[in-house]
Chains A and B, each alone.
Chain A
């Protein structure tokens, strides 16, 4: 068994620490557009990273294979590729596979081979396991077991492109301007205690969920211990992993809507709860009583995305920046306002959301599972198309 934690965190620090630049664009009408805009925006935020990691998530980019899981896998050695392909042969129906197109780029040194596989689960899974769980298990298996192989991305009709380098170089390397997606998120990384490695860059992905994250969560120790009780293994030792597993636990396993999840990650203060409307008081109090160990305390901004939805959230006293921009059906989320104005000079409205207040961009007809509509307006800022 390879030790992912050691690759990610060779000094065995408590956790991986980094600061970052974030950007997200979504056309809530579902109209697709190229990666050129987000590349431009990330280039503008060059100074927020240090060249040790950059990455992108793009949704709606594989319409021809939309019903298949798209696995993006990096291989450090030919042996890793052989072993992985052998594993895939026994675990999935392989519909199509190819190298992810790249171009030589200054600043991208020693890139690993990146291939993508469009696969179907079919009858490979046991009867009592749903497809998604089956895929999660196989992905975890490759990442934990096969030396020199790492699955970046495992959702349907979406993909993660990331690596070591500045995000603009990574984007250029992966020719992102050639893809068409309706939702893009990007990340520039400034790690303090890790050498960059391609798997450690953001976005962090499982199935079609991606997280890009800026911050250092000071409550990491207890968040992690809490999630471990539910069987999550925090092998990557990153705050981002805690966010991703927290989302998975609360949304997928506990069935809570995202606006309620936001109140768990960034709950109102007790004094605010006492001033809230009666019905909310009880909900907010109960959430804090039941999920105190999932309060993400300390500075963070995250952009969480999945099919049809993009969510921006900061910690409750907003120790990391988040700016929102809207033009027509397009929503922007960014660490700074400048890149929004760069890619959209005639942006109609920009604002800085309050700490702990989620901003949700939602497709008018979401192809994924429809999330419940928010019941508590004024707390949730929804940008309808």
Chain B
């Protein structure tokens, strides 16, 4: 059937610059470029271009330019190009549209409507270049109070396991199999260098990365891939994945093509078979079942590590989170509607869930109203772009954030949304042996650690400007936020005042 879907991009080749070296041919995993032996020239099949910029970035003479295809439909606000083309695609295939990355729809980004405070005159700002500035955060359950032993000579209180992170940014769950081993290694090494944690995702952990266990969150998801005693023992935190911001209510599907020998071994499934994660955990149909799994994992690890429970931010997130804390979760991870994925149905990604800003605010407020905020740490995920977003999330009430897409971008990702194809030209979201070699873990971990360093410097600058020298003085301190261009109801849910007020 002839497709009616037009090219997304135009590949322009400056013939005066092209030397026919064919770097672009080898670099493009989508087979856009090919060598025409007859004409002794490189040709491009434009309909295959996904706009990932791999060829343009590696062309030694700068001969390639990628532009958006200006093919214009008649203007129609309702029937924009994307919706027309989605209908074409479904008419041609009869299938669910799959996509990768986080939603590209213009859901309101509340970070852009929140502004931060700074000290002027009545209190001094603090210069982080000259004064200590503390970002350390301890994740885990805290008691309501500290008790001292007889004569106040000793500490009676014994805390549940606490995990320190030196920067309030962790790497979000991205499973081995979805991403390559080199990505996992880069994340693990960068997390270790920066004193934070990386999350294995639901595909287990390659034994060669066990040595980074102290900086690893091991995930247990509905498919239970790669979950065994040693895996649980090696991690610092265990996370039960209930849901994901990019696809709330939906399970996972790693196509058999990506299940290489090594992926199969780590996941403990036959090579080449699809790895299907059911939509729900079939042993969790209600909150009391969650409690059983939490305590099964705590028993299995002798109560030595906090158990996190990750959910997609949905309408009743506040009530659900409260139940999770009461069920024994030590960390609540919330993933908002802009959270990304290796593969999800487009219709789910773009339409289900709520923005993370609102979820943080309502969950933090609810847990405080119930007097149980101290019983769990709150970790937020879903589209964090920079240190400003991170600081605002913490001021709303989060203890720390997860970044996924930002971490991938640090390693080269251009957010071309082709993760689900397994052909990632940057060697990130693929298990193709030749492609995965494109990411050198020495370089990948360096770039990631640099990113965390840069953000932590920026966070310190902001804290100093606010006049505080410890992150905990900003956490949940919504007086340091003001809203711009928000309705009364939005301000109320966020718990912040209008700027100028």
Contact = CB atoms under 8 A, between A and B. Distances in A.
Given A221-B477, A299-B123, A289 B138 contact: yes
Nearest to B135: A270
A270 B474 CA distance: 17
A50 B136 CA distance: 40
A36 interface: no
A220 B478 CA distance: 10
A293 B377 CA distance: 13
B190 to A, nearest CB: 21
A19 B479 contact: no
B157 interface: yes
B128 to A, nearest CB: 12
Interface residues of B, number: 45
Contact of A215 (B123, B153, B155, B476): B123
Contacts of B501: 12
A220 B159 contact: no
A287 B123 contact: no
Contact of A219 (B152, B153, B477): B477
Interface string A203-224: 0000000000001101111100
Contacts of B147: 254-255
A222 B474 contact: yes
A130 interface: no
A283 B148 CA distance: 9
A222 B155 CA distance: 26
A222 B473 contact: yes
Contacts of A220: 477, 479
A286 B157 CA distance: 8
A17 interface: yes
B373 A286 contact: no
Contact of A254 (B136, B145, B466, B480): B145
A104 to B, nearest CB: 34
A192 B470 CA distance: 26
A357 B99 CA distance: 58
Contacts of A279: 154
B477 A317 contact: no
A257 interface: yes
Contact residues of B: prevailing secondary structure: loop
Contact of A289 (B119, B153, B162, B479): B162
B154 A293 contact: no
A222 B477 contact: yes
Contact of A229 (B126, B368, B477): B368
B207 interface: no
B32 interface: no
B159 to A, nearest CB: 6
B51 interface: no
B119 to A, nearest CB: 7
Interface in A265-289: 269-271, 279, 282-283, 286-289
Interface in B129-178: 131-132, 134, 136, 138, 142-148, 151-155, 157, 159, 162
Nearest to A280: B155
Interface in A170-198: 192
Nearest to B151: A372
B81 to A, nearest CB: 46
Interface string A279-323: 100110011111111010111000000000000000011010000
A375 interface: yes
B478 A375 contact: no
A290 B146 contact: yes
B368 A225 contact: yes
A229 B373 contact: yes
A53 to B, nearest CB: 16
A270 to B, nearest CB: 5
A292 B157 contact: no
Contact of B475 (A12, A271, A292): A292
Contacts of A260: 146, 148, 152
Contact of B152 (A215, A269, A282, A375): A375
B470 A14 contact: no
A117 B138 CA distance: 50
Interface string B457-501: 000000000111110111111111000000000000000010001
Interface in B115-129: 119, 122-124, 126
Contacts of B145: 253-254, 290
Contacts of A288: 472
A226 B262 CA distance: 49
A256 interface: yes
B374 interface: yes
A229 B364 CA distance: 12
Interface residues of A, number: 46
Contacts of A229: 368, 371, 373
A271 B479 contact: no
B146 A297 contact: no
Nearest to B121: A192
Nearest to B142: A290
A292 B378 CA distance: 14
Contacts of B131: 317
B159 A269 contact: no
A372 B157 contact: no
Contacts of B146: 254, 256, 260, 286-287, 290-291
A248 to B, nearest CB: 13
A4 B31 CA distance: 72
Contact of A290 (B157, B467, B470, B474): B157
Nearest to A192: B122
A293 B159 contact: no
Nearest to B472: A292
B473 A297 contact: yes
A260 B159 CA distance: 17
A375 B466 contact: no
Contacts of A256: 146, 148
Nearest to A193: B122
A375 B153 CA distance: 6
Contacts of B123: 215-216, 218, 298-299, 319
Contacts of A216: 122-123, 467
A271 B132 contact: yes
Contacts of B371: 229
A1 B148 CA distance: 41
B471 to A, nearest CB: 9
A254 B474 CA distance: 24
A3 B42 CA distance: 78
Contacts of A372: 151-152
A216 B468 CA distance: 11
Nearest to B119: A218
Nearest to A230: B371
B155 A221 contact: no
A270 B165 CA distance: 12
Contacts of A291: 146
Contacts of A297: 467-470, 473
Task: Give the interface centre of B119, B144, B469 by most chain A CB atoms within 10 Å.
Answer: B469
B392 to A, nearest CB: 14
13 contacts: A12-B501, A222-B476, A228-B368, A229-B368, A255-B148, A256-B148, A269-B132, A287-B146, A289-B159, A290-B142, A297-B468, A297-B469, A298-B468
Instruction: Please give me the 5 A-B residue pairs with the lowest Cβ-Cβ distance, nearest first.
Output: A221-B479, A292-B472, A297-B473, A219-B473, A221-B477
Given A253-B145, A257-B152, A319-B123, 8 more contacts: A221-B476, A221-B480, A229-B373, A293-B472, A295-B472, A297-B467, A319-B124, A372-B151
Interface of B: 119, 122-124, 126, 131-132, 134, 136, 138, 142-148, 151-155, 157, 159, 162, 368, 371, 373-374, 466-470, 472-480, 497, 501
